[in-house]
Amino acid sequence: QGQDHNYSAVRPAIEFGWNFEQPARPARHTVFRPFARLGVTRVLSGESNSLTAQLAGTPTGVAPFATNVGGEATLKDVALGFDLLRPSGLSLRFGYTRQFSSRTNLNALMLKISKPL
């Protein structure tokens, strides 16, 4: 059965970044931009939801079961990564993000490649 869950959150953060390029020919080489971000995510609403499910193949008349799905209201955020920008317009972003609290640990890797048409 389909269900919708809505969350609202704020995520203030501060990001530090550096720009490494060749000063002699800035328009004709790859630019390397490492970054680090520190922040916090605060869930304002929707951190606790009820999830209702039914197992496939259950005989007729067996009621679905419900469980409460709770999450953390506040998570600390850390991100590290870099951008590579080529003169052709090709760009690459690679990053690692971690969100954590006393009961939760979320890790993610990201790779984004873009090229203008």
pLDDT by residue (tens digit) across 72-111? Answer: 789 999 999 999 998 888 999 999 999 999 888 999 999 9
pLDDT of residue 2: 65
pTM: 0.69
3-state secondary structure 17-65: ECCECCCCCHHHCCEEEEEEEEEEEEEEECCEEEEEECCCCCCCCCCCE
Query: If you average pLDDT over residues 8-12, what whole number do you get?
Result: 92
Is pLDDT of 26 > 90?
Answer: no
Q: pLDDT tens digits for 54-69?
A: 888 888 888 887 776 6
